[in-house]
């Protein structure tokens, strides 16, 4: 296990370059299995979730190699249907996209249930609802999901999701791209990474329209061909660095972003008092004076992302006045980090879906433990803003989703180092 040691109090200044979007690339990489050929995916973050997913794809006999620091070439010519290695599948959450990819390519899938951050119950009933609607028989055990074509075969279908689900929307798109007939997903997720997957599939010859709206149409095609595609910048990584500047103070140019994707975050940080300037592909964040309290409710895109809940909570913890933070996607997400922040002097009272955060002048360094990816990111931000030294343990969670974090924060003037325990 490893930990980060942070000496707080340094202003953050300079430039940070955002990597490719984790939640886009973990959907795009399984999509390469839909073709028998070669795909080149650019702007791929070298993070543990990606490395595990590439090993899962290798376990299906695909040839996978990094052609440079951020480009992956995947040759699926020799791929044959088999069960992805369960030891790898259970190490991350997005491995469940192998279900949609294998069902779409081979008409069947036998995949272990995923692992990953367990800050909340993360059911897959909407994924199963989609597979059943597409004509599959689905058998679920405590460890596996087994999906086979039903007696009437696989076919396009109209699927109305009961919950706006990123994962279910992705899995249905992967399953339906090569399926005969038209599939319509209603109440679909609209996140930038859904649009990125649809753009990649269309680059390979799929016929998907409506991605980014709540209704996505997929006209199944006979065959897809290999393609080269660059993943969009990571909205949540960018938001994390922006929140760090607001919490620790400073003046940072966040580069390689799509400002439109950041609006839901930019508006809230501006409300707190940050001075934010948007350029074509970068955003400058300046925070000099005191921050104002705000009220935030997390919502599916284009609302304020649940994956930024923990990070904005740290900003609230050192703002003037009483802020309110309501979680509408994962009710139990607060418990991944609020207790740790309280050990650093934060004044947070959780009541059901809402946390009331009373700003204090200063957080105080302490030894804290990350319990999931974004909770860990928030504790790092708290450490940067706090007086004294903070040790964040279990940072393997953080390294699942943040590429070269130590290097990027160090370049901004932070005092942060990684220690193997
Ligand atoms: C994706 O998770 C992201 N992960 C999560 O980011 C993110 O928090 C989440 O979307 C919401 O934006 C990846 O993209 C790999 P959902 P996912 O299905 O797909 C309920 C991070 O930090 N639901 O959109 O698992 C569910 O319980 C990670 O990068 C069902 O009820 O989320 C939740 O309340 C953490 N049944 C809501 O829908 C289902 O079958 C949204 O979940 C599926 C979901």
Q: pLDDT tens-digit profile of 21-34?
A: 999 999 999 999 99
Give the residue, by CA position, lying nearest to ligand 1 atom 1.
166
What residues does ligand 1 touch, defined as CB less than 6 Å away? 22-23, 26, 93-94, 117, 122-127, 163, 165-168, 189, 306-307, 329-330, 373-374, 401
For residue 384, pLDDT over 90 is answered with yes
Percent of the chain with pLDDT over 90: 95
CA distances from 413 to 48, 259, 365 (A): 25, 24, 18
Ligand 1, pocket-test mutation among 96, 298, 329, most atoms within 8 A of CB: 329
What is the 256 CA–ligand 1 centroid distance (Å)? Answer: 25
Of all atoms in ligand 1, which is nearest to the CA of residue 126? 40
Ranges assigned E (strand) in 227-352: 228-230, 250-255, 275-278, 282-287, 295-297, 322-326, 347-351
What is the 406 CA–ligand 1 centroid distance (Å)? Answer: 27
CA distances from 235 to 114, 142, 265, 346 (A): 24, 34, 9, 26
Mean pLDDT for 84-89 is 94
Ligand 1, pocket-test mutation among 50, 133, 160, 166, most atoms within 8 A of CB: 166
Tell me: the pLDDT tens digits for 64-76?
999 999 999 999 9
Helices and strands (H and E) in the chain: how many = 13, 23
For residue 115, pLDDT over 90 is answered with no
CA dist 184 and 133 (Å) reads 11
Tell me: the pLDDT tens digits for 318-337?
999 999 999 999 988 999 99
CA dist 113 and 142 (Å) reads 8
Give the residue, by CA position, lying nearest to ligand 1 atom 26.
122
Distance of CA 63 to the CA centre of its chain: 25
- Phi, psi of 58, deg, nearest 5: -65, -35
Query: Is residue 362 very low, low, confident or very high in pLDDT (cuts 50, 70, 90)?
Result: very high
CA dist 359 and 37 (Å) reads 55
Q: Is residue 251 within 8 Å of residue 286, measured between CB atoms?
A: yes
Give the residue, by CA position, lying nearest to ligand 1 atom 10.
166
State the catalytic residue, choosing from 117, 313, 315, 338: 117
CA dist 228 and 134 (Å) reads 29
The DSSP bridge partners found for residue 102 are: none
- Give SS3 for 334: helix
CA dist 378 and 366 (Å) reads 14
Give the residue, by CA position, lying nearest to ligand 1 atom 4.
23
For residue 200, pLDDT over 80 is answered with yes
What is the 165 CA–ligand 1 centroid distance (Å)? Answer: 6
Amino acid 39: pLDDT: 98
Helices (H), 144-299: 166-176, 192-203, 235-248, 259-272
Of all atoms in ligand 1, which is nearest to the CA of residue 49? 15
For residue 116, pLDDT over 80 is answered with no
Q: Is residue 225 within 8 Å of residue 205, measured between CB atoms?
A: yes
Mean pLDDT of the chain: 97
Of all atoms in ligand 1, which is nearest to the CA of residue 401? 29
Give the residue, by CA position, lying nearest to ligand 1 atom 22.
307
Of all atoms in ligand 1, which is nearest to the CA of residue 119? 35
What is the 170 CA–ligand 1 centroid distance (Å)? Answer: 11
Mean pLDDT for 125-147 is 96
For residue 117, pLDDT over 90 is answered with no
What is the 166 CA–ligand 1 centroid distance (Å)? Answer: 6
Tell me: the pLDDT tens digits for 233-248?
999 999 999 999 999 9
For residue 262, pLDDT over 80 is answered with yes
For residue 361, pLDDT over 80 is answered with yes
Q: How many of the other CB atoms lie within 10 Å of CB of 64? A: 18
Amino acid 120: pLDDT: 81
> CB-based contacts of 303: which residues, under 8 Å, 6+ apart?
264, 297
Burial 92-130 (b: 16+ CB within 10 A, else e): bbbbbbbbbbbbbbbbbbbbbbbebbebbeeebebbbbb
Q: How many of the other CB atoms lie within 10 Å of CB of 359? A: 19
How do beta strands 182-186 and 158-160 pair? Answer: parallel
Percent of the chain with pLDDT over 70: 100
Ligand 1, pocket-test mutation among 19, 45, 97, 122, most atoms within 8 A of CB: 122
What is the 168 CA–ligand 1 centroid distance (Å)? Answer: 9
For residue 377, pLDDT over 80 is answered with yes
Q: Is residue 181 within 8 Å of residue 152, measured between CB atoms?
A: no
Amino acid 137: pLDDT: 98
How do beta strands 347-351 and 354-358 pair? Answer: antiparallel
Q: Is residue 179 within 8 Å of residue 104, measured between CB atoms?
A: yes
Q: Would residue 315 show up in a list of annotated catalytic residues for this protein?
A: no
Q: Cis link prior to 20 (omega < 30° from 0)?
A: no
User: 97: which DSSP letter?
Assistant: H
For residue 121, pLDDT over 80 is answered with no
């Amino acid at each position: 296990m490893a930990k980060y040691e942070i000496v707080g109090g340094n202003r953050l200044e300079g430039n940070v370059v955002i990597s490719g979007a984790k939640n886009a690339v973990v959907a795009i990489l399984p999509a390469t299995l839909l073709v028998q050929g070669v795909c080149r995916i650019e702007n791929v973050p070298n993070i543990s979730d990606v490395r595990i997913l590439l090993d899962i794809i290798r376990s299906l006999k695909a040839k996978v190699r990094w052609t440079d620091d951020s480009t992956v070439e995947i040759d699926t010519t020799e791929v044959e249907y088999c069960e992805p290695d369960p030891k790898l599948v259970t190490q991350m959450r997005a491995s469940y996209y192998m279900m949609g990819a294998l069902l779409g390519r081979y008409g069947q899938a036998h995949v272990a249930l995923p692992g990953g951050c367990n800050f909340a119950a993360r059911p897959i009933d909407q994924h199963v609802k989609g597979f059943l609607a597409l004509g599959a028989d689905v058998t679920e055990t405590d460890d596996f999901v087994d999906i086979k074509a039903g007696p009437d075969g696989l076919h396009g279908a109209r699927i109305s999701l009961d919950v706006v689900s990123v994962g279910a929307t992705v899995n249905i798109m992967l399953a339906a791209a090569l399926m005969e007939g038209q599939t319509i997903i209603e109440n679909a997720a609209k996140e930038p990474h859904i649009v990125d997957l649809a753009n990649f599939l269309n680059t390979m010859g799929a016929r998907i329209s409506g991605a980014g709206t709540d209704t996505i149409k997929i006209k199944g095609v006979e065959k897809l061909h290999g393609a080269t595609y660059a993943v969009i910048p990571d909205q949540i990584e960018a938001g994390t660095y922006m929140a760090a500047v607001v919490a620790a103070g400073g003046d940072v140019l966040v580069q390689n972003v799509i400002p439109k994707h950041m609006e839901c975050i930019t508006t809230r940080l501006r409300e707190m008092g940050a001075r934010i300037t948007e350029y074509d592909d970068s955003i400058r964040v300046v925070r000099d004076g005191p921050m104002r309290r705000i009220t935030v409710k997390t919502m599916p895109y284009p609302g304020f992302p649940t994956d930024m809940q923990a990070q904005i909570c740290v900003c609230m913890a050192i703002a003037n006045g009483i802020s309110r933070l309501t979680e509408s996607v994962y009710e139990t997400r607060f418990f991944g980090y609020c207790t740790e922040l309280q050990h650093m002097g934060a004044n947070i009272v959780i009541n059901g879906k809402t946390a009331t955060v009373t700003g204090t002048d200063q957080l105080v360094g302490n030894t804290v433990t990350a319990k999931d990816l974004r909770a860990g990111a928030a504790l790092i931000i708290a450490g940067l803003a706090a007086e004294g030294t903070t040790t964040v343990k279990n940072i393997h969670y953080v390294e699942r989703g943040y590429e070269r974090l130590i290097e990027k924060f160090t370049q901004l003037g932070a005092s942060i180092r990684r220690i193997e325990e």
